[in-house]
Amino acid sequence: MKAVPNGKVCAAPALWPTLWIMMTMAVAVALPATATAQYRDGDTPVVTPVSAPAAEPPFDPVPAFSQAYRLAGHPVVMLLWNRSLSDQTQAQTEQRKTITDSARGSRQASTKTTSDRADSATLTDEDASAQRKRTIVTGNYESGDNAAPNAGPQSASALMLQRAFMAELQRGGVRFVDRTMAVRTTAATAHRAGGDRQLIEADAMLKHAQLVMEVLPVADKRAPAGHAFDVRTRRVADGRELAAVYTHAMPSAPPQRPGGWVAGKDGYEFRHPLAPPPPNAVELGQALARDVMLALGGRLHAESRAPK
């Protein structure tokens, strides 16, 4: 050891090679521990895509709508699905005339032959008669009901959409009355002698429902189903419109998944996530009910808070 002028002690120059070897060995011993600390068990591998953050649950309008519907007195709703409510007070009728023709005929013939020594002749007499009968039937017939002009037999997807729409509204407390049953029972009790279809339907609304909800599809290429929906809700007592909604019925977007690096033939390459599948009929029906509850619930809530 050697003393220096500032009072510190340092190793002699001859010991420096020995100290260098000792420091190198210490670093070599520490390297495996350092490498192990960089890659611990349970860590996410470098090439594994990072999972998407947990998405917030979609907005549920049912609690707020249920409260507004309850404050409004749980009004009974008659649903007109793909059926318009026209302003005609009587069903249109048309007169039809049916003509039936029938014919019957007969033919009689007689033959007479005469002969002479060299000549002969044949005479024929014919008698034809015909009879024709015409029958004319007239009557008045209803030209049709108020179904939408393009309404046809319901497909399975259309039926599922309607059922999902009604089920979501019923989850919010809505009470539906079946239109067919209301019309039939009203005709049986108040129109046994016969009556106009439009008047019977109006009596059924006054007797069994407080609200009428009309849902009509409208061709719209921007909508995911190829058609949007025009929904109108009216009061039966005074005909006042509570809510009118035009919507594409867009379901809530699923959480966006991130892409990731995957091994390819030329090394790792980034793959974008697949596009989500198009919404099905149940998702469209639930989205349609969501938009209707947002509009109708707001109006019911405002009316319940308005001064009487």
48-78 pLDDT, tens digit each: 555 555 666 778 899 999 999 999 999 999 9
Exposed e or buried b per residue across 29-40, where buried means at least 16 C-beta atoms within 10 angstroms of its C-beta: eeeeeeeeeeee
The residue ranking higher by pLDDT, 22 or 163, is 163
The C-alpha atoms of residue 284 and residue 215 are separated, in whole angstroms, by 14
* Residue 283 near residue 163, CB atoms below 8 Å: no
Supply the pLDDT for residue 20.
Answer: 52
How long a stretch of residues is the chain?
308
What is the pLDDT, as a whole number, of residue 127?
57
Q: Report pLDDT for 130.
A: 58
Burial of 284 (0-12, 13-18, 19+ CB in 10 A): buried
What does the pLDDT read at residue 33? 44
What does the pLDDT read at residue 9? 47
CA–CA gap between residue 100 and residue 187 (Å, rounded):
35
Of these ranges, 14-23, 61-70, 183-192, the one predicted with the greatest mean pLDDT is 61-70
State what percent of residues in the chain have pLDDT above 90.
36
Instruction: Enter the tokens of residue 8.
Output: 């510190």
DSSP H/E element including 103: strand 93-115
pLDDT value, residue 132: 66
Question: Structure pTM?
Answer: 0.60
Q: What pLDDT sits at residue 177?
A: 96
